[in-house]
Amino acid sequence: MKKTIKTAFLVLAVALVLSVLSGCRKQEEVQEEKSGLILDYATSGVIELEDPGTLQSAFNAAQEEALDSMFSLEYQDDAFSDDGKTFRCYIGNSENNKDDLFISIYMDAELTDEVYMSQLLRPGTAFETIELNRTLEPGDYTVFVPHTKIRLVDGEQTIVGQVVVTMEFHVASN
Please give the Cα distance from 80 to 128 (Å, whole number): 11
Q: Where are the alpha helices (DSSP H) in the chain?
A: 2-34, 52-69
CATH number of 72-171: 2.60.40
* CA atoms lying within 13 Å on the CB side of residue 95: 1
Q: So what's the pLDDT on residue 70?
A: 73
pTM of the shown model:
0.63
Check if the beta carbon of residue 116 is closer than 8 Å to that of residue 133: yes
pLDDT tens-digit series, residues 114-137: 999 999 999 999 999 999 999 999
SS3 state at 54: helix
In tens, the pLDDT along 14-26 reads: 555 555 555 545 4
Return the pLDDT at 131: 97
